[in-house]
Structure 1
Amino acid sequence: MRTLKRKSSLTKFLRYLIVALILLFICLVILAVSYWVSAKSNLSGTIISAGLGQTVQIQFDENDVPHVKAKSQRDAYYTLGFLHATERSWQLEISRRLASGRLSEILGERTVSLDRFIRTLGIKQAAEKQFERYPAEIKQLVQAYADGVNAGNRALGWALPIEYFLTGSKPGYWSAADSVAWSLMMALDLGDNWQKELFRLELSQYLSTTDIWQVMPPYPGTNPVTNIDFAKLYREHQVFRPTQSKVQASRDGEPYLLKHVDTVGWLSDQQEGLGSNNWVLTGKKTISGKPLLANDPHLGLSAPSTWYFAHLEAPGLNVIGATLPGIPAVVLGRTDKIAWGFTNTGPDVQDLYLEKIDPDNPNQYIGPDGPLSFLAREEIIQIKDKPPLRFVVKQTRHGPIISDSHARAKKVIDTDRYALALRWTALDVENQTLLGGILMNRADSIDSFKNALRHHYAPMQTVAIADVQGNIALQVAGVAPRRQLHHGLYGVAPALGWERQFDWTAYLPFEQLPSFFNPTAEWLASANQEIISASNPNPLTGDWDLPFRYDRIAAMIGEKDQHDRTSMQAMQGDVLSLGAQALLPLFKNAQSGHTLQPGIQSVIDRFDGSMSIDSTAALIFNTWVDQLTRILFSRLGDSFTEEYGRRSFRGAVNHQISNPDSPWCDVHTTAERENCQGAANLALQRALNDLSQRYGKSSTDWRWGTAHHALSEHRPFKNIPLLAEFFNVSIPFPGDAFTVNVGRPVLNNPKAPFQANHAPSLRAIYDLNDPEQSAFMLPTGQSGWVQSHRYRNLSASWATNQLIPLAMKPKQVQRELVLKAKSF
């Protein structure tokens, strides 16, 4: 009887449970349907917006580019902010939090070290001070953009992008200073000179300066820009942390210090050679007789895309191109009379200074004329589900002390005696980069465009320009300290902060920056290679990127007497790696003794450096050169582990194999003395072992595109199981770090060493014969709503180097949105 009762109770419980689960499922379906219907991921119709002056019409063309028609520039920028918020709300929110050091409020402990570093730099404080100095008219336009962002977020209602629900957050208030702060973050993203200085300081613990120049060789064909033996200098001043302290620090290290791994996917400081390609041809080099201009900026790939294309039209304003959510301007694009494209110049605008702490007073440091007090402020970071972090940021006459918040900096120096400060142009109160951007959008000639560039401060950019009259130009824009070859340290390694000789004395005037106009060669190009001004022989940095992309662009321009859009497009998609050329003889002569080598030797022998998706040889070569690099430089220990992936060491590898008996080629783990060919043999053995384990023992299954995926990563869900598959965008991609069609591998990711996180963040070609025939492409899509087909609809076309129209007068309108001013 009791058994029957128990069975009856269990049956009732199961029945109730099933009913409850069914009701829960129905509720979830209703909620999902309600969200799907309510989410404003495809806005159209009419919206009343209180911040507008007059009605604005927005037409979205067949490629989802919005065409904004406003009756004032203020309303145009307000509408751009509105569009950024409605299309990219989460991107704006994460950017705002990143720039102000407030990620941990919603993401918890894992972003505290990054927040601490950004707070240490004082990005938001610097932005607020800079904005106060802007001209009144520009301040009003930047504020109008901010008002538009906030209005756009309000217009979304309760059905916010999914990321807000997953993080338990809501859109925060966007201020005008947030736009300035985001421009500073872009400058930080594109500047890594201080990282190179820190690496040289680190190497100075156990290498001579001569050896360091072997690991980080000067630009090809040049000598080091400084003659100072900096490694000796640091040892003489006992800069480095004593060995005993290092061991203790590794055991009892302070939490929340920035590490390399903390920045991956947030900042691009883990990569060298962040830059771009641009080139421009005069009418004598084109079939149409008018200029053609190509641009493809290389940035960390993100989902949604870094860029959002838009067309703004208002009195005195008619511009179309790539906007940055958070910035009130078309950053890259064209008007109806001129077109332009940026590359990163890569100047040395960041110097580290070793500050000597006053032994009698730790609150002071030694200046040229005696002790000075640190400026100090307290910062408080709110951490989700954790107590807040309180810490003190110190600043010297050079800038903020970063060694208190950066793990590697703190580990390398004796922090009882020294601190590391960062001097960086972008933090200057005079920085008014947004003013330059807004004035660029109004330019109607190359001259007026160059005048706008005079206000561009940071990051320094090399700008290719063309106009409908047939003129072309290349102009470097931004500020950089005046340096003189072989005087001082030239910014290659941390300077002694107490010696006046290492201080910056002045910035280069605009007239002494590299500038070219209508050259006799009939073309101009930049790809982050060395670029020297005719009026100033001193280079802007001692750390230029390698010239392989520029050399390849120059060769392709010279292969045809005249070009058209099709040939320009083919150049953008080129995957022949000149960075592989010097290594091919060593690669083809390598003898591994591996059982697979006889079957693949013919593939190796035919390899010409082309990094196409379906190439077996490209995968073998890249795996081989990865192993060769490790053989040569893994003896650097933790320093190599930290840096490999941030930089490829390709310049150093090429430099060493130019001497067949280079001591760096000797495999330090063996008793024998190897030359470079011996190292190459071992590298091929290890490469074939690795390929067999990863991709199977049949080389017919080995393809470059299998290993080399372009990954557009979502912040912050890029590494979270299930969510990563939903939010990231991944696709096989050609190229390597040195091809014109860049696909820069991460290298230090053991699971996916050839995954490309840096590639063309957009491609654009501008036709000055008929600007309406211009074209562009993004790596993901226009939308930031992950459930929208527009979130990733362009990825396949981008990966195969296709383009879509960039016209001010669209042939087709797929939807319309009208913003109406609220009447009172």
Structure 2
Amino acid sequence: MKGETASFAVPGLGEPVEILVDRWGVPHLYAGSRADLFLAQGFNAARERLFQLDLWRRRGLGLLSEVLGADYVEHDRAARLFLYRGDMAEEWAAYGPGTREMARSFVAGVNAYVTLVHEDPSRFLPPEFAALDYAPAHWHHSDLARIRTHGLFYNVRQEVARALTLRDLGPRAEELRKVRDPLGHRLTVPEGLDLDVLPEDVLRVYDLATTPPWSPRAQPSQSPDGSNNWVLAPSKTATGRPLLANDPHRALTLPSLRALAHLSAPGLDVIGAGEPALPGISIGHNGHLAFGLTIFPVDQEDLYVYRTDPRDPHAYAYGDGWERMTCVTEEIPVRDAEPVRTKLWFTRHGPVVRERPERDAAFAVRAAWLGPGMAPYLGSAGYMDATTPDAFIRALRRWGAPGENQVYAAADGTMGWCPAAQVPRRRGWDGTLPVPGDGTYEWDGFLHAGDLPSTRDPAAGWLATANQYNLPSGYPRGGWQVTHDWYAPTRYERCAEALAARDDWSAEDCVRLQTDYVSLPARRILPRLAGLRGERLRTRTGLELLRGWDGRLTAGSGAAALFQVWYRRHLRPALLREALRPSAPSTGPGAEDAEGWLRAAVRRLTPADGEAMDPRVDLRLLDAPDPEGRLGPLLLDTLGEAVADVTAVLGPDQEDWAWGALHRARLVHPVAGLLARQGAEAVPDWCRLDALPRGGSAETVGAAGYLADFAQSDGASFRMVVDVGGWDGSLAMNSPGQSGDPRSAHYADLYRAWAFDGAFPLVYSRSRVEGETTHRIVLSPAPVTPSSRR
């Protein structure tokens, strides 16, 4: 062991806790009890991420205006609509034994550090607070459970997008907008639903509650994020030990979205990643069992449409009569202004997000995740100490939200998949569209945990999930639906192709697959260019470049740059335009501007910035009968346009073309956006990291979604591969660094290694940890102060 030692006196500790920080910034916490361990985790989380934690809490509780001013009142009101408002005893009981105590300890640790900051801001106040001129607040342990809006939830945005598309463009356009699984599913507009009453902005309040307000580029997504995970049996690896890999895809953030930690106390020795503001570990291993998760996109939301009483807009038709909405009045504190008094309205189904008294209508979101035991990721407290697969599965029965594909592997070679979520049962309807709120469309409880399918020790020796439709044939039993809104299977298909091809996998090989940039859409589209000849120079240039390309979206590839610009900006819109042409108005209103209608329709069907496209739509259009021979000219014309597009940005010399010259990671701290909203002309240097070239796209295993300017918006900032049984052989990455404090050496020390697809050892044994330790922190018991009792 080497390096310096720092000491802190921490109220609430029963015994000293030792934290060994390795050279990659991972803290290894050693305590004599669980209470001390989670208190130390909270203290250390605040030491490294205090501003991130404070912003998480304020955004979730609706307290941004208190420190940032009146511009955030709407966000605060929206967040308060979606707080958990049920019985707290029922809430804590839903997570299982020990969760409330764990939360108390963690928050006591956070508060101990907040007190330290208040007592000596010159030493401990992080610079973000100084930049925004406010101080961190103390927490209550119930904050961890009451906050719900930081999770990934489904599918109310899809319901509304689908309804508006059906209303404005018709059913053919909806089939082009998004594929529903299983294939062949037919849409049925619920009886009694008037699509015309839906306003375009019906989800504005919902979006305010669930989307961070500090980035000017932040926008709600119809299909946010994603993830990959897989497990390999001993028969598929070079060591004869299982391997478990997981790379969750989320928005790229500064600081990192997740935090790695090693938590060790009697009866618990777990390492991996979790949410910085929550106790415990959700992805990792405990020396017995490895576990990882990807989104299992359960439909846990519905938009209810109400007919309101013309005499009273806060009474709605239900059953044979009228039912009054519930009103909760709250005051939102506002910096440098009087508090804003606001009314929050709720129906029996959930928070009211829009009212249209002029149409005698109102709208509410019903969300399973507003019920007991549904705080995002807090359910991992129940499984992180499971030492056997059976114990892990039992613990997952309590998991609520978000829906997850949980995979696991034990040192004895046992491995499996078990989805976990509370799945609403809808009798006679499928949740694909909004429904009337008159009592006709109610949930019939939830599926029992055993009703979801699972797999253990598959004959193939491997399994993988990538948010694709993965329900077995014949499911669901009893007609209950999980969802019809799955992700395109592109990433899964590439994983399956690679995993099935070899029996000598290593942890390093898994990292290479996690950063694999083979584009299956490219592989399937490029053959369409065979035999085509371009008359224009720029079209010939495009054909020559793409015909010699292997379909890999590497950062240095000029062909990759051309393909992505062609596919996203030119080919797909042209295919949609041609497919929609028969639906364009030829008579009546709008017939005089059919081209304008087509442009608007294509915009409606084109995925938002950062979203993955569904290549199945494009391939279906490419494979459609073409009796008039229109496809060839369309391919050539759009390819020529793409060449001109790339030339305008990267210049005429193809030697200068590279996907990474367009597609770059640009990490920006929330403080930059918050200062910009305040009109600041300059932001601190630490608010932005240098832009770095990146490979991949939203459709590759190495996922890298991007915005209109090609800046990478999401992907796997955290990656992990667990060598099950040879624990010290595990690998990890967490960009841009383990710390959220700009003054720390670990603020952005992993950024370049991440951008160039690296990994570092996730050391676990005490001897390996001590060999990699760069500094040591000792937390010692101290007298309890009034502010630390919260």
Q: TM-score, normalised by structure 1?
A: 0.83
Query: How far does residue 658 in structure 1 lie from its aligned partner after superposition?
Result: 2.8
**Partner of 1:172: helix, strand, or coil?**
coil
Is the counterpart of residue 708 in structure 1 residue 648 in structure 2? no
Which of the numbers 103, 109, 134 marks the counterpart of 2:64?
103
Per the alignment, residue 454 of structure 1 pairs with: 397
Query: How far does residue 387 in structure 1 lie from its aligned partner after superposition?
Result: 5.6
Query: How far does residue 494 in structure 1 lie from its aligned partner after superposition?
Result: 0.5
Query: How far does residue 443 in structure 1 lie from its aligned partner after superposition?
Result: 1.2
Between the aligned partners of 2:85 and 2:132, the Cα distance in structure 1 is: 23
Between the aligned partners of 2:655 and 2:282, the Cα distance in structure 1 is: 45
Which of the numbers 710, 728, 740 marks the counterpart of 2:688?
728
Per the alignment, residue 438 of structure 1 pairs with: 381
Contact 1:432 1:456 in 2 (8 A): no
Matches within 5 A, 1:313-392: 313-385=264-336, 388-392=339-343
Per the alignment, residue 776 of structure 1 pairs with: 732
Query: How far does residue 71 in structure 1 lie from its aligned partner after superposition?
Result: 0.8
Which range moves more in the overlay, 507-516 or 715-724? 715-724
Matches within 5 A, 1:32-51: 44-51=5-12
Unaligned runs of 5+ in 1: 1-41, 405-412, 663-672
**Partner of 2:316: helix, strand, or coil?**
strand
> For residues 68-124 of structure 1, what are the alpha-carbon distances to aligned partners after superposition, in whole Å with 9 as ceiling and x for unaligned?
111110100000000100000010011011111222333335444433322222357
Per the alignment, residue 300 of structure 1 pairs with: 251
Per the alignment, residue 608 of structure 1 pairs with: 550
Q: TM-score, normalised by structure 2?
A: 0.87
Is the counterpart of residue 656 in structure 1 residue 621 in structure 2? yes
Query: How far does residue 279 in structure 1 lie from its aligned partner after superposition?
Result: 0.4
Matches within 5 A, 1:127-146: 130-131=91-92, 137-146=98-107
Per the alignment, residue 788 of structure 2 pairs with: none
Query: How far does residue 491 in structure 1 lie from its aligned partner after superposition?
Result: 1.2
Matches within 5 A, 1:70-85: 70-85=31-46
Matches within 5 A, 1:4-23: none
> For residues 31-60 of structure 1, what are the alpha-carbon distances to aligned partners after superposition, in whole Å with 9 as ceiling and x for unaligned?
xxxxxxxxxxx9942211111111111111
Which range moves more in the overlay, 632-641 or 83-92? 632-641
- Matched to 2:371, the amino acid is D
**Partner of 1:185: helix, strand, or coil?**
coil
> For residues 450-495 of structure 1, what are the alpha-carbon distances to aligned partners after superposition, in whole Å with 9 as ceiling and x for unaligned?
12111111011111100111100111111111247xx42x111101
Per the alignment, residue 580 of structure 1 pairs with: 522
> For residues 137-168 of structure 1, what are the alpha-carbon distances to aligned partners after superposition, in whole Å with 9 as ceiling and x for unaligned?
43122111000001122234313111101111
Which range moves more in the overlay, 126-135 or 432-441? 126-135
> For residues 393-445 of structure 1, what are the alpha-carbon distances to aligned partners after superposition, in whole Å with 9 as ceiling and x for unaligned?
211121111125xxxxxxxx786322221111110134376663223222111
Between the aligned partners of 2:215 and 2:625, the Cα distance in structure 1 is: 36
Against the structure 1 CA distance between its residues 821 and 355, is the aligned structure 2 distance closer, same or farther, given a 3 Å change threshold? Answer: same
Unaligned runs of 5+ in 2: 578-598, 785-790
Per the alignment, residue 565 of structure 2 pairs with: 623
Between the aligned partners of 1:259 and 1:794, the Cα distance in structure 2 is: 29
Per the alignment, residue 591 of structure 2 pairs with: none
Between the aligned partners of 1:508 and 1:346, the Cα distance in structure 2 is: 15
Against the structure 1 CA distance between its residues 70 and 215, is the aligned structure 2 distance closer, same or farther, given a 3 Å change threshold? Answer: same
Between the aligned partners of 1:127 and 1:108, the Cα distance in structure 2 is: 30
Query: How far does residue 601 in structure 1 lie from its aligned partner after superposition?
Result: 2.8
Which of the numbers 105, 126, 130 marks the counterpart of 1:165?
130
Is the counterpart of residue 291 in structure 1 residue 233 in structure 2? no
Which of the numbers 725, 741, 748 marks the counterpart of 1:785?
741
Against the structure 1 CA distance between its residues 595 and 164, is the aligned structure 2 distance closer, same or farther, given a 3 Å change threshold? Answer: same
Q: Which has the higher contact order (CA 8 A, sep 6+)?
A: 2
> For residues 554-607 of structure 1, what are the alpha-carbon distances to aligned partners after superposition, in whole Å with 9 as ceiling and x for unaligned?
110111123122222221121101133333244667777654333343211122
**Partner of 1:723: helix, strand, or coil?**
coil
Which of the numbers 345, 348, 369 marks the counterpart of 1:426?
369
Per the alignment, residue 149 of structure 2 pairs with: 185
**Partner of 2:672: helix, strand, or coil?**
coil
Per the alignment, residue 206 of structure 1 pairs with: 168
Is the counterpart of residue 821 in structure 1 residue 781 in structure 2? yes
Is the counterpart of residue 690 in structure 1 residue 655 in structure 2? no
Against the structure 1 CA distance between its residues 472 and 660, is the aligned structure 2 distance closer, same or farther, given a 3 Å change threshold? Answer: same
Query: How far does residue 378 in structure 1 lie from its aligned partner after superposition?
Result: 2.4
**Partner of 2:277: helix, strand, or coil?**
coil
Which range moves more in the overlay, 384-393 or 542-551? 384-393
Per the alignment, residue 583 of structure 2 pairs with: none
**Partner of 1:738: helix, strand, or coil?**
coil
Contact 1:202 1:639 in 2 (8 A): no
Which range moves more in the overlay, 65-74 or 422-431? 422-431
Which of the numbers 510, 516, 519 marks the counterpart of 2:449?
510
Is the counterpart of residue 766 in structure 1 residue 705 in structure 2? no
Between the aligned partners of 1:470 and 1:574, the Cα distance in structure 2 is: 26
Between the aligned partners of 1:375 and 1:591, the Cα distance in structure 2 is: 67
> For residues 647-703 of structure 1, what are the alpha-carbon distances to aligned partners after superposition, in whole Å with 9 as ceiling and x for unaligned?
5354433333332559xxxxxxxxxx9944444344334323322222223232221
Against the structure 1 CA distance between its residues 138 and 268, is the aligned structure 2 distance closer, same or farther, given a 3 Å change threshold? Answer: farther
Query: How far does residue 66 in structure 1 lie from its aligned partner after superposition?
Result: 1.3
Matched residue pairs, number? 741
Instruction: State, as a whole percentage, how many aligned pairs show the same letter.
Output: 28
Query: How far does residue 350 in structure 1 lie from its aligned partner after superposition?
Result: 1.1
Is the counterpart of residue 547 in structure 1 residue 512 in structure 2? no
Between the aligned partners of 2:93 and 2:416, the Cα distance in structure 1 is: 33
Which range moves more in the overlay, 355-364 or 581-590? 581-590
Against the structure 1 CA distance between its residues 124 and 267, is the aligned structure 2 distance closer, same or farther, given a 3 Å change threshold? Answer: farther
Against the structure 1 CA distance between its residues 123 and 47, is the aligned structure 2 distance closer, same or farther, given a 3 Å change threshold? Answer: same
Matches within 5 A, 1:211-222: 211-219=173-181, 222=183
Against the structure 1 CA distance between its residues 794 and 587, is the aligned structure 2 distance closer, same or farther, given a 3 Å change threshold? Answer: farther
Is the counterpart of residue 55 in structure 1 residue 16 in structure 2? yes
**Partner of 1:648: helix, strand, or coil?**
coil
Contact 1:782 1:790 in 2 (8 A): yes
- Matched to 2:482, the amino acid is L
Per the alignment, residue 499 of structure 2 pairs with: 557
Between the aligned partners of 2:532 and 2:444, the Cα distance in structure 1 is: 52
Against the structure 1 CA distance between its residues 713 and 655, is the aligned structure 2 distance closer, same or farther, given a 3 Å change threshold? Answer: farther
Contact 1:94 1:715 in 2 (8 A): no
Against the structure 1 CA distance between its residues 765 and 358, is the aligned structure 2 distance closer, same or farther, given a 3 Å change threshold? Answer: same
**Partner of 1:351: helix, strand, or coil?**
strand
> For residues 758-803 of structure 1, what are the alpha-carbon distances to aligned partners after superposition, in whole Å with 9 as ceiling and x for unaligned?
1102111111131121111112001111133311111111122221
Against the structure 1 CA distance between its residues 61 and 629, is the aligned structure 2 distance closer, same or farther, given a 3 Å change threshold? Answer: same
Against the structure 1 CA distance between its residues 436 and 133, is the aligned structure 2 distance closer, same or farther, given a 3 Å change threshold? Answer: closer
Is the counterpart of residue 472 in structure 1 residue 415 in structure 2? yes
**Partner of 1:563: helix, strand, or coil?**
coil
Between the aligned partners of 1:380 and 1:279, the Cα distance in structure 2 is: 48
Against the structure 1 CA distance between its residues 50 and 229, is the aligned structure 2 distance closer, same or farther, given a 3 Å change threshold? Answer: closer
Against the structure 1 CA distance between its residues 305 and 96, is the aligned structure 2 distance closer, same or farther, given a 3 Å change threshold? Answer: same
Contact 1:548 1:739 in 2 (8 A): yes
RMSD after superposition:
3.2
Against the structure 1 CA distance between its residues 258 and 143, is the aligned structure 2 distance closer, same or farther, given a 3 Å change threshold? Answer: closer
- Matched to 1:509, the amino acid is H
Query: How far does residue 368 in structure 1 lie from its aligned partner after superposition?
Result: 2.4
Which range moves more in the overlay, 535-544 or 517-526? 535-544
Is the counterpart of residue 799 in structure 1 residue 755 in structure 2? yes
Query: How far does residue 131 in structure 1 lie from its aligned partner after superposition?
Result: 4.2
